[in-house]
Amino acid sequence: PFAAGVVISYLAKGSLSGATMLSLVFVAARMAYPLFYIADMATARSLCWTVGIVAVFGLYVLPWLS
């Protein structure tokens, strides 16, 4: 879903800076997720997953907001 969101945002002429920010948020959330998993912090892990999926959703709707 992430790669498709990036491609759709690019092809639909979405904001490049917005897409970059959402991509960085997604990558940061995905990098933090296993750390919270190892630390057995379920709530923080769920929050990371939610932030990541919202960032991907943002990539899909970004062209219509730009």
CA atoms within 13 A on the CB side of 25: 20
Per-residue pLDDT at 66: 75
pLDDT tens profile 43-56: 999 999 999 999 99
3-state secondary structure the chain: CHHHHHHHHHHCCCCHHHHHHHHHHHHHHHHHHHHHHHCCCHHHHHHHHHHHHHHHHHHHHHHHHC
Per-residue pLDDT of the chain (66 residues; tens, 9 = 90+): 999 999 999 999 999 999 999 999 999 999 999 999 999 999 999 999 999 999 999 999 999 997
Output the pTM of the full model: 0.91
